[in-house]
């Protein structure tokens, strides 16, 4: 049986944890060769080991998305190893400080934007020439429901995710002429290691945290990384060949209400 990503090469940032890792593992199961990239550390090689143990094809490169030189080197190495890059998943992200605008320092703002906004810019900038050369490609950016809606928490993060929403639309409008599709996913709260830590510290633990966080969702459970990875898979694959510029909520119905 052919995989849904047979013959494709995927470059994934932030691929060593949470939704990036779930996406890397799913893509490998669907027969993509996966460039697993993340900050240097044991989690990247562990992700690759899990993929290869399951019969998939992957290799790890340490890439800090806030550094253009690091991104350029990672993209060049992955393209040389696998011969092409057909899919880019911009998943790396940090949440930053939970402060309103008038309390945020310039350093806090810049540190968050360096990863969440410039990281998407750098990876897109360096992968697009490979896609143009190959005659097309698919880019999926990780935004958030808070790249579509405001609330009164984590202001720099929400503004940054709004920039990712707009980068998606702008690049979709620009690169269609090269058969490059650009879409974004917008999860509500997903039970990744980061969120598990917050839930454990919440009074009443995960059940109480889940009830509070899903009060405004139609489906009363937190997302799981695989819930999001399947949406990313669709957008990345040729099944979405006529889909570009879409900002897809994967949110248990949060934004529908």
Active site residues: 157
Burial class (CB in 10 A: 0-12, 13-18, 19+), 172: buried
- Alpha-carbon distance of 161 to 96, in angstroms, equals 12
CB-based contact 248:185 (threshold 8 Å)? yes
Mode of pairing for the β-strands spanning 33-38 and 87-90: unpaired
Q: What tokens appear for 210 in the block?
A: 């889940």
Binding site for ligand NAD (CB under 6 A): 13-14, 16-20, 38-39, 63-66, 91-94, 115, 142, 144, 187, 189-190, 192-195
CB 135, min distance to ligand NAD, A: 28
Q: Which is nearer to ligand NAD, 79 or 89 (CB)?
A: 89
* CB of 139 vs ligand NAD, minimal distance in Å: 14
Q: Contact at 8 Å (CB) between 139 and 178?
A: no
**Residue 116 Cβ vs ligand NAD, minimum distance, rounded to whole Å:** 7
- CA 13/CA 126 separation, integer angstroms: 13
């Amino acid at each position: 049986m052919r995989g849904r990503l047979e013959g494709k090469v995927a470059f994934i940032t932030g691929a060593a944890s949470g939704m990036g890792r779930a996406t890397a593992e799913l893509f490998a199961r669907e027969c993509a060769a996966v460039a697993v990239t993340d900050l240097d550390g044991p989690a990247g090689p562990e992700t690759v080991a899990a993929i290869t143990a399951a019969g998939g094809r992957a290799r790890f490169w340490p890439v800090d998305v806030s550094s253009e030189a690091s991104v350029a080197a990672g993209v060049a190495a992955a393209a040389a190893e696998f011969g092409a890059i057909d899919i880019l998943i911009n998943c790396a992200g940090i949440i930053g400080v939970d402060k309103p605008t008038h309390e945020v320092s310039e350093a806090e703002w810049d540190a968050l934007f360096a990863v969440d906004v410039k990281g998407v810019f750098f990876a897109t900038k360096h992968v697009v020439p490979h896609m143009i050369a190959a005659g097309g490609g698919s880019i999926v950016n990780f935004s958030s429901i808070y790249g579509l809606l405001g609330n009164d928490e984590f202001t720099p993060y929400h503004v940054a995710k709004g920039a990712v929403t707009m980068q998606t639309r702008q690049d979709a409008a620009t690169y269609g002429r090269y058969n490059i599709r650009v879409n974004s996913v917008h999860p509500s709260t997903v039970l990744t290691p980061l969120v598990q830590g917050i839930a454990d510290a919440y009074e009443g633990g995960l059940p109480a945290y889940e009830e509070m966080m899903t009060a405004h969702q139609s489906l009363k459970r937190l997302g799981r990384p695989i819930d999001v990875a399947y949406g990313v898979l669709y957008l990345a694959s040729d099944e979405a060949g006529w889909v570009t510029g879409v900002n897809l909520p994967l949110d248990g119905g949060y934004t529908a209400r």
